[in-house]
Amino acid sequence: MEEIAFGRFGLAAMAHRPGVLGFPERTPQVVKYALSYLFAQSEFGLLCPVNMTDSCARMLGAFGSEELKARYLPHLTATDPDTLWQGTQWMTERTGGSDVGASTTVARQDADGQWRLWGDKWFTSVANAELALTLARPEGAPAGTRGLAMFLVPKHLPDGSKNAWTINRLKDKLGSRSMATGEVTYAGARAWVVGDLGSGFKQMMEMVNGSRLSNAMRAAGLMRRALLESLVHARQRVAFGQPLIELPLLRSNLLGMLLDAEAAAAVILNGAALLDRREAGSAEARALARVWTPLAKYWITLRARDVTAEAMNVRGGNGYVEEWVNPRLLRDAYLGAIWEGSANVVALDVQRAIVKDRGLEVLAAFVGERLARVAEPAAKPLVDLARAGLESVTRQCAGWAARPAAERELAARPVADTLYHLLAGSLLLAEGQALREQGHGFRKLLSAGLYLRRWLEPRGPASPPLTARQVEWLEPLAQWRPIDESALADLEA
C-alpha cells in the first residue's frame, strides 16, 4: 500500500513538484484530495504518513532555510521508495495535546550555535519517519504557545549517524493499526530551527489546519466504504422474506448514510478546491478556509463514527466479527475526532474563527452565493429552509464577542452542527442546479433536498427524520438511476 500511495500515485509528492502522474505543473489539491479519498476507502492508517510527509514538505517549503530545503525536500517529495523519507509532526506531550502551550520540551543552543532538544513527546505517529517537525521551547523563551519554536529533527544526522532520540515504546491503539504511533524521548537531539523562532506554534497551526481537512477527507472515505459495504450486504441478505434493503426502517438507515457520505464528499472536494484558490493568492479563499477546515473536521470525523457503527449493524452479527471490514472501519473512524484537535477543541476553533476572523460573515456570504445559484422552482422551499437556518444561526452568534466565555462556549457545538449542514446543503443544491442545467436530471437536487430536510427541518422529538415516500428513493440514488422532476414533490413532507 505504501508503494501505491507514495510511489505509483505520488500522493505525498504531487502538490509539491511537477511531473507526478504526468501533470506538467504541481498537481491541484482537488486532484490529490479526490485520489486520497479513493485510497481512504481501502486503507485509512497509511494516509497519516502520506499526509504528514506532504505537510512536512509544505512547512519546509514555506518556512525552511535554503539549506534544509536542499537537503530534505527531494527526499520528502520522492516517489522512489529507495530515496523517499517520510515526515511527521510531533507536538503532543504528557501535559496535553489540546493545551500545546503547556509543552515542556526544551531547546538549548550549544556554544557553536547548534540546537539540541531535551524532553518527551507522548504521541508520535509515523514513529518510523526519517524527519519530524516538532515544537520545543528555547531556554528563556516565554511560557505558553508564544514561546514555542518549530524544529526539524532528523532520525539521522547529515554524517549518517543516529540522532539522539529514542522510541520508548509503541502504543497499543484501538485503530489505525497499520501505522505505528510511539512515545519518544529527545536526549539532546540535534535540531534545526524552521521559520521564525517566535512563531513555531503559529506555523504549526497552519500545518494542522491543512491536516484537518485531510482528516475530514479520510473520515469521508470511511463513510463511503461503510455505505458501499452496507448496500451490497442489504441487497442480498434476506430477512422476513425480503432483502434487507426492502425493509423501510433499514432503508432509512441506509439513506441517512448515503446522504451523509455524499454531503461529506462535497465539503471535502470543494474544500480542496478552496485550498487551490488560497494557494493562488485569493484572500477570500484564505478567510473561508480558516473556518471551513475546522468545521469539516468537526462534523465529518464525528459523523464517521455513527456511519461506520450503522454499517456494523447492517451486517448484523457478522459486522462484529474481525473477518469483515466493519470492526476496522469503526476503530479507524474513532480516531478522527480525537487527534489534531478533538471535537470540542475544533468546535471552539470554529467559534474563534467567527469571533476573531469574520468566519460567519465569509461563510454566510459563500452559502448565500451558492443558494442564489438555485433557479429550479421546485427547489425554492429548500433554498428558503437554508436561508431561514442561516438567519437563525446569525442571530445566535450576534454579540458572541461580548458574552462570557462560559456561556458562549456552550453554543460552539450546536452552532457548528448547523453551519456544517448549511455549508453541505448549499454545496449540494448548487451542484444539483448545475447538473440539472447540464442535462443530468434531478438526482443531486433530490439528495440535496433530502439532506436539508433531514438535518435542518424543525420537527418534534419523536418524528422520523425521513418519510416513507422519501426512503423509497434510496436505490435510485445509490445506483445513480435517472431521476426526474417529479421526485422533488416527495421533499414536501
Ligand X SMILES: Cc1cc2nc3c(=O)[nH]c(=O)nc-3n(C[C@H](O)[C@H](O)[C@H](O)COP(=O)(O)OP(=O)(O)OC[C@H]3O[C@@H](n4cnc5c(N)ncnc54)[C@H](O)[C@@H]3O)c2cc1C
Residues lying near ligand X in the complex (CB under 6 A): 88-92, 96-99, 123-125, 173, 176, 181, 335, 338-340, 342-345, 348
Smallest gap from Cβ 459 to ligand X, in A, equals 29
SS3 at position 53: helix
Nearer to ligand X, 88 or 270 (CB): 88
Smallest gap from Cβ 65 to ligand X, in A, equals 23
SS3 at position 197: helix
How many Cα neighbours within 13 Å face the side chain of 426? 24
Nearer to ligand X, 87 or 389 (CB): 87
Nearer to ligand X, 302 or 364 (CB): 302
Smallest gap from Cβ 185 to ligand X, in A, equals 15
Q: Is the dihedral of CA 287, 291, 297, 299 positive or negative?
A: negative
Using CB positions, name the residue nearest to ligand X: 97
Nearer to ligand X, 299 or 339 (CB): 339
CA 61/CA 87 separation, integer angstroms: 13
Kindly state the cell numbers that stand for 409: 462556549
Other CB atoms within 10 A of residue 62 CB? 12
Smallest gap from Cβ 49 to ligand X, in A, equals 10
At position 466, the amino acid (one-letter code) is L
Smallest gap from Cβ 20 to ligand X, in A, equals 25
Smallest gap from Cβ 82 to ligand X, in A, equals 25
At position 356, the amino acid (one-letter code) is K
CA 51/CA 12 separation, integer angstroms: 6
Smallest gap from Cβ 214 to ligand X, in A, equals 13
At position 140, the amino acid (one-letter code) is G
Nearer to ligand X, 302 or 393 (CB): 302
Smallest gap from Cβ 47 to ligand X, in A, equals 13
Residues in the chain: 493
Smallest gap from Cβ 300 to ligand X, in A, equals 16
7 DSSP assignment? I
Task: Please name the residues in contact with 327: beta carbons below 8 A apart, sequence gap of 6 or more.
Answer: 312, 319, 320, 321
Task: Please name the residues in contact with 338: beta carbons below 8 A apart, sequence gap of 6 or more.
Answer: none
Nearer to ligand X, 149 or 428 (CB): 149
Nearer to ligand X, 296 or 374 (CB): 296
180's torsion region: left (phi>0), alpha (psi -120 to 50) or beta? Answer: beta
Backbone angles phi, psi at 239, to 5 degrees: -140, 140
Smallest gap from Cβ 57 to ligand X, in A, equals 17
5 DSSP assignment? I
Q: Are strands 131-138 and 149-154 parallel, antiparallel or unpaired?
A: antiparallel
CA 358/CA 80 separation, integer angstroms: 44
Nearer to ligand X, 93 or 431 (CB): 93
| Chain centroid, CA 223 distance in Å | 12
Q: Do the Cβ atoms of 261 and 357 come closer than 8 Å?
A: no
466's torsion region: left (phi>0), alpha (psi -120 to 50) or beta? Answer: beta
Nearer to ligand X, 306 or 409 (CB): 409
Nearer to ligand X, 63 or 455 (CB): 63
The candidate with the shortest Cα–Cα distance to 37, out of 270, 207, 307, 349, is 270
Nearer to ligand X, 205 or 345 (CB): 345
CA 124/CA 132 separation, integer angstroms: 9
Smallest gap from Cβ 453 to ligand X, in A, equals 31
CA 177/CA 331 separation, integer angstroms: 9
Backbone angles phi, psi at 420, to 5 degrees: -60, -45
Smallest gap from Cβ 204 to ligand X, in A, equals 9
Kindly state the cell numbers that stand for 217: 477527507
Nearer to ligand X, 306 or 472 (CB): 306
